[in-house]
């Protein structure tokens, strides 16, 4: 028998078997198909039809022990999606395990933070090997003294699928510790109080809060913020007296405008309790002397429609960082007995090319946190001589910011530094001698050589001529020939700027030949406040086109190609991904979309959905026709079309309080119905988690391993 003929027969049989196995697989695991039940909303003369409105459940339905018919239907669809994802990615399970072990293997298991001194005690956080949660500790007077464990979070987290402990605050007399717990991931916290001398958890339990408390100077009274359990907005500030029930707490402030977030904190000077109110466009404050907890809060300055500012108390005056007559903010001061705006005087003038973010005040120095030329800067001013200087960080692509600085009478500034290739470093800086002392750099177990990687700052020209910065890192040896795999990340909303910082997790990408890039698109504050204003409301489309133009630039410069380019974004960055997928799906090989805000119009129409009313000034209020019309041009769910889309992995958390699970669920269902390609679309639903995924130090990396394995599989990387 002819060997070539025999070989052909064998190949033919193999192909037939492969087809049969694929048909069997499709028979066993069919693509989930969600039922269409049209739900019509008529607005501005337009019929907005939502075929998957039925997927939305109330919190009561989600938490019910016995699901009703609708809940069961929703759960069946989510289970089908998870099962489909498991089947489609089953061949990557071993690789996922390897990636997980690799990622957590780089994390120092018995780690400890740099201590800081506050009111006679040194405070620090440490981790024990293989434990998921931190242990909060302190030592009295000297670091040589015995350790006092305030809270071992691992003990509190036992038996919970999700656990968050936050808001630690010690009373002025150093005896009582306030801390808050959330076990559902809805960010509704219960405040607890521990007697640090006896170890007793006191009967004072405050439910339904934001999780933070501000102590008055009597160490018997604290103030806290309540949370609306439906909208999840903060609505009241209450005063609690120790050893009294929550029902007797006194309401000291109520916010009636549901477009504002509110909260309460203690000033760095320890002289004031401060209530803050913040919306997208405005902020204001109420102050009360911490020595007089039962007194009346007084308005700092009258609320104005478009005035944002922050305050910092020092000695007998307040410093104010304000955008009053200053797009990029300026610094002013006022006596603490005369705080209304007409008493403010200018300290640092507005700069057209410098965004003033915040300040740190010391006895002889002031530190300004600025954003200049698209990068964070720290500007040191000697208040005695008036001399000033900018700190030199020695890298072109980096992030630097002040850390915990509680001591006024010092010339030492503690700050943090990181870059795409440099692990996070805690540094003390002598503001007089300009000498730096490295206190700690996050250890990468197994070693890390920053010199093995190259970072660059690139500039893509957007379609309207604006220069959009791109921060990029790759391992040396990466070839700029158009054949390299590249993951491009973006966010671009709320003025939040994604700074180029280190991630040991990312080494699993870089060491397998991927490049990683951050597109600093409009909607952030990379170039100050105007960069944000040019990417919100009626300018929101710039955020999406900037990202696409950055992608095309990276392809043009041969860092990658459409067959090797991946994109990633989460939450509002998930909105970015959804819009980009509709605008230019052909540019990407695969897209990772995490907890995505994709059902923009329907969500912004419903005030009962958490956080909606607070965000009308960010996206628009669709009850206004011009704002509705503009939102409809980009809302990802409303713009899904009959066309090809790239490979996609979409993730969500069933208890997500920021972006409800049904947004990605509806979006995936619509994509499945309308897309014309055979590319992979899988939907991962974490049934125990919320917006941030799993809690704990290591478990969260299971989902990172899933995302990486998904990308590597598509890119043909098998190990």
CB 683 within 8 A of CB 672: no
Residue 511 token pair: 């060491």
Q: What is the DSSP string of 642-675?
A: SS---EEEEEEETT-SSS-THHHHHHHHHHHHH-
The active-site residue out of 50, 499, 656, 713 is 656
> For 582, how many CA atoms within 13 A lie in the half-sphere containing its CB?
22
Report residue 240: phi and psi, to 5°.
-115, 135
C-alpha distances in angstroms, 54 versus 72, 314, 663? 11, 54, 11
The answer to whether 419 is a known catalytic residue is: no
- Return the C-alpha torsion angle 317, 320, 324, 326, nearest 10: 130
CB 388 within 8 A of CB 381: yes
Residue 700 token pair: 């969260």
**Of 439, 441, 397, the residue nearest 419 (C-alpha):** 397
Q: How far apart are the first and last CA of the chain?
A: 40
Q: What is the DSSP letter of 508?
A: H
CB 208 within 8 A of CB 226: yes
Give the sheet arrangement for strand 283-289, strand by strand.
261-266, 272-278, 283-289, 298-299
Question: What are the residues whose beta carbons fall under 8 Å from the beta carbon of 4, sequence distance 6 or more?
Answer: none
The active-site residue out of 564, 691, 695, 713 is 691
- Residue with structure tokens 């108390």? 313
Provide the sign of the torsion angle of the four alpha carbons 632, 633, 636, 638, taken in this order.
positive
CB 502 within 8 A of CB 584: no
**Of 674, 510, 535, 464, the residue nearest 36 (C-alpha):** 674
**Of 282, 497, 268, the residue nearest 370 (C-alpha):** 497
Angle (CA) 338-343-346 rounded to 5° is 130
The active-site residue out of 234, 571, 613, 635 is 571
**Of 404, 408, 335, the residue nearest 366 (C-alpha):** 408
A 10 A CB-CB count for 246 gives 16
**Of 117, 676, 678, 184, the residue nearest 406 (C-alpha):** 117
**Of 150, 103, 145, the residue nearest 125 (C-alpha):** 150
CB 251 within 8 A of CB 225: no
The whole-angstrom separation of Cα 102 and Cα 719 is 12
Active site members: 571, 656, 691
């Amino acid at each position: 028998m002819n060997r070539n003929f025999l070989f052909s027969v064998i190949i033919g049989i193999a192909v037939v078997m492969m087809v049969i196995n694929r048909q069997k697989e499709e028979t066993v695991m069919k693509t989930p198909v969600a039922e269409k039940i049209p739900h019509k909303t008529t607005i501005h003369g337009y019929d907005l039809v939502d075929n998957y409105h039925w997927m939305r459940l109330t919190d009561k339905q989600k938490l019910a022990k016995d699901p009703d018919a609708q809940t069961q239907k929703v759960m069946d669809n989510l289970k089908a999606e998870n099962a489909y994802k498991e089947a489609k990615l089953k061949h990557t399970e071993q690789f996922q395990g390897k990636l997980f072990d690799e990622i957590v293997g780089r994390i120092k298991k018995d780690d400890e933070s740099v201590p800081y001194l506050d009111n006679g005690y040194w405070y620090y956080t440490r981790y024990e090997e293989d434990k998921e949660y931190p242990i909060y500790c302190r030592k009295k007077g000297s670091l040589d003294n015995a350790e006092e464990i305030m809270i071992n979070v691992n003990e509190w987290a036992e038996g919970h699928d999700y656990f968050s402990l936050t808001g630690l605050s010690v009373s002025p007399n150093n005896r009582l510790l306030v801390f808050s717990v959330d076990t559902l991931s809805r960010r509704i916290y219960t405040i607890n109080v521990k007697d640090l001398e006896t170890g007793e958890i006191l009967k004072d339990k405050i439910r339904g809060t934001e999780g933070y408390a501000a102590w008055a100077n009597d160490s018997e009274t604290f103030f806290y913020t309540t949370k609306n359990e439906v909208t999840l907005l903060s609505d009241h500030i209450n005063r609690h007296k120790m050893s009294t029930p929550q029902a007797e707490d006194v309401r000291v402030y109520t916010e009636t405008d549901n477009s504002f977030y509110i909260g309460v904190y203690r000033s760095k000077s320890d002289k004031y309790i401060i209530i803050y109110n913040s919306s997208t466009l405005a902020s204001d404050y109420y102050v009360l002397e911490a020595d007089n907890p039962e007194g009346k809060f007084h308005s700092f300055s009258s609320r104005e429609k478009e005035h944002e500012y922050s305050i910092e108390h020092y000695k007998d005056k307040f410093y104010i960082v304000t955008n009053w007559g200053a797009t990029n903010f300026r610094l002013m001061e006022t006596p603490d007995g005369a705080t209304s705006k007409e008493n403010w005087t200018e300290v640092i003038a507005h700069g057209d090319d410098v965004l003033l973010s915040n300040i740190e005040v010391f006895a002889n120095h002031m530190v300004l946190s600025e954003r200049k030329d698209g990068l964070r800067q720290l500007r040191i001013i000697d208040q005695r001589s008036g001399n000033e200087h900018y700190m030199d960080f020695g890298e072109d692509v980096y992030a630097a910011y002040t850390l915990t600085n509680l001591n006024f009478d010092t010339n030492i500034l503690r700050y943090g530094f990181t870059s795409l290739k440099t692990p996070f470093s805690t540094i003390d800086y002598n503001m007089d001698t300009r000498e730096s002392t490295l206190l700690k750099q996050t250890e990468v177990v197994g070693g890390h050589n920053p010199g093995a990687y190259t970072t660059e700052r690139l500039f893509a020209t957007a379609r309207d001529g604006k220069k959009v910065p791109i921060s990029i890192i790759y391992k040396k040896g990466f070839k700029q020939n158009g054949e390299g795999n590249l993951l491009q990340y973006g966010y671009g909303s709320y003025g939040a700027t994604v700074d180029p910082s280190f991630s040991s997790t990312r080494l699993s990408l870089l060491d397998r030949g991927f490049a990683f890039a951050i597109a600093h698109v409009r909607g952030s504050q990379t170039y100050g406040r105007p960069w944000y204003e040019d990417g919100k409301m009626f300018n929101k489309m710039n955020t999406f086109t900037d990202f696409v133009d950055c992608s095309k630039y990276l392809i043009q410069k041969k860092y990658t190609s459409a067959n090797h380019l991946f994109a990633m974004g989460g939450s509002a960055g998930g909105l970015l991904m959804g819009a980009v997928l509709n605008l230019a799906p052909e540019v990407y090989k695969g897209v990772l979309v995490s907890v995505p805000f994709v059902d923009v119009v329907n969500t912004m129409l419903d005030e009962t959905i958490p956080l909606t009313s607070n965000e009308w000034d960010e996206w628009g209020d669709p009850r206004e026709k011009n704002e509705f019309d503009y939102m409809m041009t980009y809302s990802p769910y409303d713009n899904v079309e009959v066309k090809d889309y790239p490979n996609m992995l979409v993730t969500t958390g069933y208890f997500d309080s920021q972006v409800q699970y049904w947004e990605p669920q509806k979006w995936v269902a619509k994509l499945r119905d309308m897309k014309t390609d055979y590319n992979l679309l899988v939907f991962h639903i974490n049934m125990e988690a919320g917006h941030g995924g799993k809690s704990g130090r290591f478990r969260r990396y299971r989902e990172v391993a899933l995302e990486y394995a998904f990308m590597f599989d598509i890119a043909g990387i098998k190990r």
